[in-house]
Chains A and B, each alone.
Chain A
Amino acid sequence: MSYLIMEGISKYFPRNQVQANRNVNLVVKKNEIHAIIGENGAGKSTLMKILYGLVRPDKGRIILNGKEVSIHSPMDANRLGIGMVHQHFRLIREFTVAENVVLGMEPKKNCLFFNRDKSVRDVRSVIEKYGFNINSESRVSDLTVGQMQQVEIVKMLYREADLLILDEPTSVLTEQEISRFFDNIRELKNRGKTFIIITHKLDEVKKISDRVTVMRGGEVVAVKETENVDQKELTKLMVGKSVLFKLKKYPASPGAVVLELKNVSLKLKRQEQPLLDNINLKVRAGEIVGVAGVGGNGLGELENVVSGLFKASEGEILFRGENIAGISASKFREKELGYVPADRLNRGSCLDSTVRENMIITKHHDFLKAGVFSQKKISVFVDNLSKSYSITGDTSAPIGTLSGGNIQKVILARELATGAELIIFAEPTWGLDVASSEFVYENILKLKRNGIAVLLISSNLDEIMNLADRIVVMYRGRITGRFLNDRSISKALIGEYMMGIRNDFN
C-alpha cells in the first residue's frame, strides 16, 4: 500500500548551477517512519521542499492516496494533509504557543475577530490528545528548544496533517530531548501518522525508522528495510566510497603546556547554578585535548570563555603563562591563537563578504601597502590557501554561496595559516557531510603532528574518541571525568559520565 509516490522528480537551480534532484523516485507507505539520508547537498531538502510546495519541480509528479496532486504552496500541502517541520524553526517568539499554532487558520468570532479562547482550547486539546508537554498559553520565547519543536509538530497536527516531514529534527536537541522526541514520534505513529525524517545521523535511522531511502548527488541510490541494513552499509551507500572509519592516529608526544585553565568559573547575575564550575584544564603542545559533553552542559560557555568572548567570573586562563582571560578579540588575534567557532555562519565568517575577504579578515593589516590593500599580496595568499586546502570555486564570490563544508574549509584554512600555537575547535564538523568531516579530522591530526596544541570542544563523542589524546567530560558545567584515550575506555563509559551517572570528582 503506497501512500505517497513521488515519481521522476527533477529540479535544476540555474543560479548556483546545481542539479538538486535528478529523476528521483520516492515511495512512502501508509503509517511508516521513512528516513531519507544523504550527505549535505544530496538533494533531500529540495525533494521535501517540492513535496511541501516551497519549490516547484521541473519535471515529475506526486501521487497521494492514488491520486495525482499538484502542490503550489504550503497551504496546498496542508490541505492534502502534509505538514513540515523545518530544521530551523519557523516560530514567532513573541507569540504564544496557541497563536503560533493557529496562525494562518485562526478561529474567528463574529466572522471578523480572532477567537483567542477557542484557539487556546483547540490547541490544548491537540497537545493533550498526542501527549505533548507544553502549555498552549506560554510564550514561545520562554520555551526550551525541545518544546519549540513540539510546537512546530502541534502546528502541523492542528492542520490535520497525516504525513509529517521532519528536516533534521534532532540536530538541535539534547540527548534527553531526543529520547523524548522519539517517544512522541512513536506515539503519533501508533495513532496512524506517517513520517518522513531527513537526517545525517545513522544511529537514529536505525533506532526510529522502518525504511530508509539513501540519496547521493541528487539521485536515489538505495531503498532499504531498516532492519536489513547496518550503519556501515548505509554509510557506504551515502558516501559512495569506502570511508576510513579508523583515522590514522599518531601517538602524542606532548611538549610544554600551552594553555592552562585554573579554577575557571562562569556565573551569571542572580543565577544559582554556575555555567562553568571550577574548571581546570591543561593543553600541551602536540596533543589534542577533547572536551566532551551533551549540549547545554557548559561546552558552549567553555568555548566562549577560552576564546575571550565571555569574561570568566573567576580563575585564570594562561596562554604560555600569560593570563588571557577576558582579553579583547583584537588582542586575541594578535597572539598565536586560532579559533574555529561552532557558529561558523555568524561568528566564523561574514556571509556577505567574499571568500577572499574572509580569508584575510583576521590578519588584514598584514596586507596593507601604504594604508591600502595590496591586491597582489592578497591574491598570492588566497591562491596559496585555496591550493593547500583544495578550496575550489571563485574566491571573489560571497562565502554565503558556498556549502557548509566549504565554508568550514575556508575558516579552517584561515585559522591554520596564521602560525598559531594553539587552536580551539568547537563542534568542527557539526552539520557537515562525511567527506568534509574527514577533511577536518585530517587537518586536526596534522596540527598535532606539527606540534601544535589543540583544544577540541565537541558534543560528538565519536569525534572526540577518534581524535583526542586526552578526554575531559563535562556535565552541568563541571568536569566529571578525565581519561587518557587508550583502548581501556569505551563509548558507553564516557557516555555515563556525560549523562552525570558517574562522577569521579564528587
Chain B
Amino acid sequence: MNESGYYFPVIHNAVGIMTPFLLAAIGGLFTELTGMLNIALEGLMLTGAFFSVIFAASTGSLFLGVLFGIVITMFVALIFGLISLYLKADIFISGLATNLLASGLTVVLAFKIFGNKGVILFKNLPELPSLNIPFLQKIPLFGDIFIGHNIFVYLSWLIVIIAAVVIYKTPFGMRLRGTGYNPQAITALGLKPRNYQLAAILISGFTCGIAGAVLTLNLGAFVPNITSGRGWIALVAIYLGNKNPFGIVIASFVFGFSESFSNYAQGATKIPADFILAFPYIITVIAMIGYSIWKYYKENRKIS
C-alpha cells in the first residue's frame, strides 16, 4: 500500500498508458486483416491528438473536441485510402507521406494559430471524467486494473469488444478477413476487395483519432510529435497479439507496462535514465524477436 491508493500503482498506470496503443492497434488490425500494412497509424494518431485538443479547448466541450478530432482524422485516412486504393499509389509510400504530412502540418498549424512551435498548454480544458470508487480501488489487481481510469480507458475496452464482434460475428467481418486471405475469391463473388480495404482504413482513422485524443486531453497540452512512435509500437502490437483483438489487448498491456515501469524506475532505482527511457523500445524489439521465433517453430511443426 502506498500514498496513491492503489495496491500496484505500476499496473494501474500501465492500464492507463496502454490505451492509445490499444486503440491504434485495434484500428490497425482491421487494415491488417484486409491484407494491408498500415504504417500511417502514427500520422493518423498525431492528427487526432492535435485537432481534438484544439477543438476541445475552443468549444469547451470534450465531446465536441473528440468528435472533430475523429472526423478530421477520418478525413485524412480517407485521402490516404483513396490515394492508395483507387489511384494505386504504393501503400507504404502513401502511408509514409501521411506520417510526414501529419508531423509537419500539426507543427505549422500550431505555429500559425498560437505563434509557438513548442509545447502548447491549454489551461481551460474541461477535465476528463473518470471512475473513482475508493473502496473498490483498494482490492489488489482488480482495483488496479478496473477502477479509477478516465473515460477513454473504458471506451477503448468497449471498442475492443465491438471490434471482436464485427470481425468474427458479422458478414462484414467475414468479407474483411476474406479480402486479406484471398482477394481473388472475393472478386469472383462479385464483391470489391477495395471497398473493404477502404472501410478498414476509415476504421483505423476512427480509432487513431480517439487514440490521439487520449494523449493530448490527458496531458492538457499539445507537444510536437507527441505520439513519439506509439503508432509504430501499435503496429508491432498487432503482430505480437497474433492479429487477434484480445491478443492485442495483452500485447498493448506489455507495452503499457514497460512504459509505466520505466516511469517508476526513473525515481526509484539507480539505473541510468537513458536506459530506462529506452526500456519500452527495447521491450518492443525483444517482443518482436520472440514472436518471430515462436511463429517460426509453430509453422515448422505444421510442415513436418
Contacts and interface: CB of A to CB of B under 8 A. Distances in A.
Interface of A: 53, 73-78, 84, 86, 90-95, 99-100, 103-104, 106, 108, 112-114, 268-270
B304 to A, nearest CB: 4
Contacts of A53: 190
Closest 8 CB pairs of A and B: A75-B190, A74-B190, A90-B188, A104-B189, A106-B171, A90-B185, A269-B304, A73-B190
Interface in B162-211: 165, 169-171, 173-175, 177-178, 181-182, 184-191
A282 B56 CA distance: 82
A27 B175 CA distance: 36
A100 B181 CA distance: 12
Interface in B51-90: none
Contact of B171 (A74, A114, A268): A114
B170 A114 contact: yes
Given A74-B189, A99-B174, A103-B174, A94 B181 contact: yes
Contacts, number: 62
Contact of B169 (A76, A86, A103, A114): A114
Given A112-B170, A269-B304, A95 B190 contact: no
Interface residues of B, number: 20
A94 B177 CA distance: 9
A91 B186 CA distance: 9
Contacts of B182: 90-93
A104 B190 contact: yes
Contacts of A73: 190
A187 to B, nearest CB: 24
Contacts of B189: 74-75, 90, 103-104
23 contacts: A74-B189, A75-B191, A76-B190, A77-B190, A78-B190, A90-B185, A90-B188, A90-B189, A92-B178, A92-B182, A93-B181, A94-B181, A95-B178, A99-B174, A103-B174, A103-B178, A104-B189, A104-B190, A104-B191, A113-B165, A113-B169, A114-B169, A114-B173
Given A73-B190, A75-B190, A269-B304, A92 B185 contact: yes
A386 B98 CA distance: 47
B190 A106 contact: no
A114 B170 CA distance: 5
Given A53-B190, A73-B190, A103-B178, A91 B171 contact: no
A90 B175 contact: no
A78 B189 CA distance: 9
A265 to B, nearest CB: 17
A237 to B, nearest CB: 31
A77 B181 CA distance: 24
A108 B173 CA distance: 13
Given A78-B190, A104-B190, A270-B304, A114 B174 contact: yes
A92 B174 CA distance: 11
Given A90-B189, A99-B174, A103-B186, 4 more contacts: A90-B184, A92-B182, A94-B177, A106-B171
Looking at A77, A92, A269, the one whose CB has the most chain B CB atoms below 10 A away is A92
Contacts of A104: 175, 186, 189-191
Contacts of A91: 182, 185
Contacts of A103: 174-175, 178, 185-186, 189
Contacts of A94: 177, 181
Interface in B79-114: none
B171 A108 contact: yes
A76 B190 CA distance: 8
B178 to A, nearest CB: 5
B52 to A, nearest CB: 30
Nearest to A79: B190
Contact of A95 (B171, B181, B187): B181
Nearest to A88: B184
A304 to B, nearest CB: 14
A268 B304 CA distance: 7
Given A90-B182, A93-B182, A94-B181, A113 B170 contact: yes
B240 to A, nearest CB: 20
Interface string B232-265: 0000000000000000000000000000000000
B163 to A, nearest CB: 14
B104 to A, nearest CB: 35
Contacts of B165: 113
A92 B181 CA distance: 6
Contacts of A78: 190
Nearest to A270: B304
A286 B184 CA distance: 46
B139 to A, nearest CB: 35
Nearest to B175: A103
B81 to A, nearest CB: 22
Nearest to B181: A92
Contacts of A84: 188
A84 B181 CA distance: 21
Nearest to A52: B188
Contacts of B188: 74, 84, 86, 90
Contacts of B173: 114
A90 B188 CA distance: 7
Nearest to A105: B189
A212 B197 CA distance: 42
Contacts of A113: 165, 169-170
Contacts of B187: 90
B88 to A, nearest CB: 16
A301 to B, nearest CB: 15
A95 B175 CA distance: 11
Contacts of A86: 188
